[in-house]
Amino acid sequence: MTNHDDYSIMIQLFIDDELKGQEREDLISHLKDCARCQEELEEAKSFSVRVRGARPQVEAPPALREKILSHMSNPAQQATSYPPIQKRYSVRPYWRPLAAAAMVLVTVAGVLSISYLRREARAESFVDAAVAEHRGAGDGRPLDVQSDSPDVVATWFAQRVSFPFRIPNAGVAADDRANYTLAGGRLVKFGGEPAALLEFRMPNNRISLLVSSDKLAAAAGGKVTRSAGLNFHAKDLGELHVATWDNKGLTYALISSVAMGGNNSCPTCHRERAAAAATLKRPHERFWHAQPLPEISANQVNHFSY
């Protein structure tokens, strides 16, 4: 006969999803009529939840992410250019300010160039298109595909747009307190090409997200916030809040109401609140930084560097 010490071990294994077959069956049937083990199970479960809830919000430095991604896109060149580890330690204190200075120089040069101005103009028309679509949807224009399943919506768009469509993982996590729900999407035109417009619903609001290839538009202008290796460009247009960004070959423009306020504010621009609202995982992070799907070709990673 199994004694209670054994059951204690089994309970922990059960919570860790390591208890299989007959042992699992035995425990489950024992739990039905043993109040002591039920209590122990509940206690162990809540301890596990408590520990997991303490997971620190660790974010790798954006520079590290960029370095790794650029190494992946060109392993041979990068591998030889790494300075030896020991040496790098000694130069590190000087390296950071230098890198920051280099970044500022790049930005200043960019501001003065014609291509930057062109880019900004294109970004503006991209944002304008997104705003127009957002308002159109508010007037009751129907969705082409209606589903709260990212898989369904992504599959639908994958057959209709010419770029490798990716959908951010919105509202799919059970612990997503922001309550975004995917409503569906519409096929729209931008720059003469099909683009994807996604609609997300919140209790008192809705969000539109226009997605296109970054060959047609690139994010520019506005107030720039760097987060997780991406540059977010944000601004307010009348009653609307706009955030636009590039990620791995795609350009996104996200439109929501300025009036949303409080904890429902654009998480791109209110990251502290967004982080505080997240518990075990970071739904917002996954929302704003969609992972690429496998079919993306290797050269597209180049769009990621800036």
Partner 1 sequence: MMFQKVGRNSENEGFGIEYLDSLYGYALMLTRNSVEAEDLVQETYVRALKAQHRLREDSNIKGWFFTILRNIRLNEIRKGKTGPHLVDVDGEEGGADLLPGHTRNSQEILIGKEDAEQVQVAIGRLSAEFREVILLREFEELSYQEIAVVLNCPAGTVMSRLGRARAKLRTLLAETSSQPLSYRKASR
Ranges of beta strands (E only) in the chain are 145-146, 181-190, 193-202, 205-213, 223-227, 230-237, 240-247, 250-257
| DSSP symbol at 268 | T
Query: Applying CB under 5 A, which of residues 10, 19, 37, 250 lies at the interface with Zn ion?
Result: 37
Beta bridge partners of 202: 205
> How is residue 59 written in tokens?
């974010």
Taking the CB of residue 209, how many other CB atoms lie within 10 A of it? 24
Stretch that binds partner 1, among 31-39, 82-90, 120-128, 202-210 (CB under 8 A): 82-90
Contacts 24+ apart (CB under 8 A), 37-42: 37/4, 37/7, 37/11, 40/7, 40/8, 40/11, 41/11, 41/14, 41/15
Closer Cβ to Zn ion, 43 or 236, answer by number:
43
Residue 213 amino acid letter: S
Query: Applying CB under 8 A, which of residues 36, 88, 223, 226 lies at the interface with partner 1?
Result: 88
Encode 81-96: b = buried (16+ Cβ within 10 Å), e = exposed: eeeeeeeeeeeeeeee
Stretch that binds partner 1, among 53-61, 117-125, 130-138, 140-148 (CB under 8 A): 53-61
Taking the CB of residue 28, how many other CB atoms lie within 10 A of it? 11
Give the Cα separation of 114 and 238 in Å (integer): 28
In the complex, least distance from residue 267 CB atom to partner 1, rounded to whole angstroms: 13
Residue 96 amino acid letter: R
Closer Cβ to partner 1, 36 or 52, answer by number:
52
In the complex, least distance from residue 50 CB atom to Zn ion, rounded to whole angstroms: 23
Chain residues 254-273 in contact with partner 1, contact rule CB under 8 A: 272-273
> How is residue 163 written in tokens?
């770029």
In the complex, least distance from residue 222 CB atom to partner 1, rounded to whole angstroms: 23
For partner 1, how many residues bind (rule: CB under 8 A)?
Answer: 58
Q: Is 34 in the site for Zn ion (CB under 5 A)?
A: yes
The single residue listed with the structure tokens 């280099």 is: 102
Q: Is 44 in the site for Zn ion (CB under 5 A)?
A: no
Q: What is the largest CA-CA distance in the chain?
A: 81
Stretch that binds Zn ion, among 30-38, 52-60, 226-234, 250-258 (CB under 5 A): 30-38
Q: Is 9 in the site for partner 1 (CB under 8 A)?
A: yes
Give the Cα separation of 115 and 95 in Å (integer): 29
In the complex, least distance from residue 73 CB atom to partner 1, rounded to whole angstroms: 6
In the complex, least distance from residue 40 CB atom to partner 1, rounded to whole angstroms: 13
In the complex, least distance from residue 181 CB atom to partner 1, rounded to whole angstroms: 16
17 binding partner (options Zn ion, partner 1, none; Cβ < 5 to 8 Å by kind): partner 1
List residues near Zn ion by CB under 5 A.
7, 34, 36-37
List residues near partner 1 by CB under 8 A.
9, 12-13, 16-18, 47-48, 50-61, 64-65, 67-69, 71-73, 75, 79, 82, 85-86, 88-89, 92, 150-151, 154, 166, 169, 172, 248, 272-273, 275-276, 286, 290-294, 296-298, 300-301
